[in-house]
């Protein structure tokens, strides 16, 4: 079903007209009562007309609709879709039309939605009472869906916890209301499904030999290093699934990403070990360069002549000093070099 924009009549002139007719009905009742007393049958007709209008004249007031900016009302008449009011203003529609919004009671996390219930205050005999009037308007604003964190296995089978925030809005009110049972719950479910489908393609961190693009060639894609690319794929996946619900997904962002608690400690040790190995490699590379430079300087300046055995001993000592975790304790040799 496609959205149809309804061209409703301005409400303010008709409001004044119906109020005026009510005063006329009151006048007819008074006039009819006066004529019945004075002229017998002459007052029957205005009295009957005034009473009928005073009873039935309340129904046209049910046809007035107030539409705020970035809101819409989907109207049906005896089960048939008649159109959507989506322009801000005060309008009059068929009093028997009904507003339809099956998701008006649903609340999404951090969603700037239309209030489903408008509070009004009534005073009766000095007592104040709060009444709730159901509001079935549909918000056309950009809204945010922040589902709960999910535990998903990545491509290597490691359990991770991930959360996303999705910016969305309604673009076709007819599709949103009539094509799905509850478009908010439908969106939330599709977000969870798309998140699982995309996350299971990627490793948490860069891992050689993993193909995340589907072209058969290993790449360096990962959840931690390619978060923007992963978020875009999640957005596109959600958009494909909610197209028939009249929703537009503007953006998706990863808001939380971490290993699951049961393996977080092990993975932390793994990362620490990897960092230690990388640091040691850098230290060894620097130490070897310094030893080479020291031997070259000794040979160039003819400071001392060392045979291969002494050179090996010197290299060993220098590497121990440069690569050790603690400061070296020097030992002074006061005897002969040999």
User: Which pLDDT does position 240 carry in this prediction?
Assistant: 94
Model pTM score: 0.70
The mean pLDDT of 254-269, rounded to a whole number, is 80
Q: Are residues 238 and 281 in the same domain?
A: no
Q: Are residues 255 and 276 in the same domain?
A: no
Tell whether the model's pLDDT for residue 21 goes beyond 50: yes
Q: Is residue 246 part of a domain?
A: yes
Tell whether the model's pLDDT for residue 128 goes beyond 50: no
Domain that holds residue 176: 143-259
Provide the CATH number for the domain around residue 232. Answer: 3.30.479.30
Classify the C-alpha dihedral 252-146-74-246 as positive or negative.
Answer: positive
Under 8 Å CB-to-CB from 86, ≥6 apart: which residues? 5, 67, 71, 72, 73, 140, 173
Q: Are residues 154 and 244 in the same domain?
A: yes
Under 8 Å CB-to-CB from 123, ≥6 apart: which residues? 129
Residue ending a domain, choose from 209, 240, 259: 259
Q: Is residue 107 part of a domain?
A: no
Q: Are residues 220 and 273 in the same domain?
A: no
Is residue 91 packed enough to be buried (19+ CB in 10 Å), middle (13-18) or exposed (0-12)? Answer: buried
Closest CA to 66 of 95, 91, 98, 99: 91
Task: Please give the structure tokens belonging to residue 262.
Answer: 């049961």
CB 223 within 8 A of CB 199: yes
pLDDT tens digits, 292-301: 777 777 777 7
User: Which pLDDT does position 309 carry in this prediction?
Assistant: 73
- Domain count across the chain: 3
Task: Please give the structure tokens belonging to residue 121.
Answer: 């205050």
| Cα 224-111-149 angle, rounded to 5 deg | 35
Q: Is residue 113 part of a domain?
A: no
Tell whether the model's pLDDT for residue 311 goes beyond 80: no
Q: Are residues 250 and 288 in the same domain?
A: no
Higher pLDDT, 55 or 135: 55
Whole-number Å distance between alpha carbons of 86 and 70 = 7
Whole-number Å distance between alpha carbons of 305 and 327 = 28
CB 69 within 8 A of CB 88: yes
Task: Please give the structure tokens belonging to residue 81.
Answer: 């879709």
pLDDT tens digits, 31-64: 777 776 665 666 677 778 888 888 888 888 888 9
Is residue 149 packed enough to be buried (19+ CB in 10 Å), middle (13-18) or exposed (0-12)? Answer: middle
Under 8 Å CB-to-CB from 261, ≥6 apart: which residues? none
Whole-number Å distance between alpha carbons of 144 and 5 = 26
Q: Are residues 235 and 280 in the same domain?
A: no
Q: Are residues 170 and 193 in the same domain?
A: yes
Q: Are residues 298 and 241 in the same domain?
A: no
Chain length of the chain? 338
User: Which pLDDT does position 177 carry in this prediction?
Assistant: 93
Residue ending a domain, choose from 100, 128, 152: 100
CB 46 within 8 A of CB 36: no
Q: Are residues 247 and 148 in the same domain?
A: yes
Q: Is residue 118 part of a domain?
A: no
Report helix angle 261-301 to 308-323, nearest 10: 140
- Mean pLDDT estimate for the chain: 80
Whole-number Å distance between alpha carbons of 306 and 7 = 101
The full DSSP string for 16-79 is: HHHHHHHHHHHHHHHHHHHHHHHHGGGGHHHHHHHHHHHHHTTGGGGGEEEE-TTEEEEEEETT
pLDDT tens digits, 139-159: 999 999 988 888 998 888 888
Q: Is residue 226 part of a domain?
A: yes
What percent of the chain is modeled with pLDDT above 70? 80
Under 8 Å CB-to-CB from 109, ≥6 apart: which residues? 144, 145, 146, 147, 148
User: Which pLDDT does position 220 carry in this prediction?
Assistant: 81
Q: Are residues 26 and 76 in the same domain?
A: yes
User: Which pLDDT does position 129 carry in this prediction?
Assistant: 38
Q: Is residue 229 part of a domain?
A: yes
Closest CA to 291 of 276, 279, 306, 278: 306
Q: Is residue 311 part of a domain?
A: yes
Residue 104 is classified by DSSP as T
Whole-number Å distance between alpha carbons of 52 and 25 = 8
Q: Are residues 152 and 215 in the same domain?
A: yes
Strand duo 143-146 + 159-170: pairing: antiparallel
Residue ending a domain, choose from 34, 65, 100: 100
Tell whether the model's pLDDT for residue 136 goes beyond 80: yes
Q: Are residues 243 and 148 in the same domain?
A: yes
Q: Is residue 131 part of a domain?
A: no
Closest CA to 257 of 277, 297, 227, 215: 227
């Amino acid at each position: 079903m496609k959205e149809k924009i309804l061209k409703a009549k301005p409400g303010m002139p008709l409001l004044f007209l119906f109020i005026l007719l009510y005063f006329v009905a009151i006048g007819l009742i008074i006039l009819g009562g006066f004529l019945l007393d004075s002229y017998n049958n002459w007052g029957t007709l205005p009295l009957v007309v005034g009473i009928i209008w005073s009873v039935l004249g309340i129904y046209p007031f049910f046809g007035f609709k107030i539409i705020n900016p970035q809101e819409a009302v989907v109207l049906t008449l005896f089960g048939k879709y008649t159109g959507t009011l989506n322009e801000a203003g005060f309008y009059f529609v068929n009093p028997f039309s009904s507003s339809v919004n099956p998701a008006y009671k649903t609340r999404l996390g951090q969603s700037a939605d239309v209030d489903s219930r408008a509070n009004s205050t009534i005073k009766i005999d000095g007592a104040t009472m709060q009444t709730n009037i159901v509001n079935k308007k549909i918000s056309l604003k950009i809204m945010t869906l922040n589902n709960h964190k999910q535990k998903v296995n990545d491509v290597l089978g490691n359990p991770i916890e991930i959360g996303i925030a999705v910016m969305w809005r309604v673009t076709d009110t007819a599709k949103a209301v009539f094509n799905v049972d509850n478009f908010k719950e439908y969106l939330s479910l599709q977000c969870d499904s798309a998140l699982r489908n995309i996350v299971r393609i990627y490793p948490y961190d860069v891992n050689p030999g993993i193909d995340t693009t589907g072209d058969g060639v290993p790449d360096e894609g990962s959840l931690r290093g390619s978060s923007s690319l992963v978020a875009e794929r999640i957005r596109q996946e959600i958009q494909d699934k909610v197209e028939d619900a009249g929703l537009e997904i503007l953006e998706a962002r990863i808001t939380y990403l971490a290993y699951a608690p049961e393996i977080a400690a092990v993975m932390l040790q793994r990362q620490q070990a990897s960092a230690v190995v990388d640091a040691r490699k850098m230290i060894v590379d620097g130490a070897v360069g310094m030893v080479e430079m020291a031997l070259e300087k000794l040979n160039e300046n003819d400071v001392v002549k060392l045979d291969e055995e002494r050179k090996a001993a010197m290299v060993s000592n220098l590497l121990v000093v440069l690569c050790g975790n603690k400061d070296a304790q020097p030992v002074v040799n006061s005897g002969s070099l040999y």
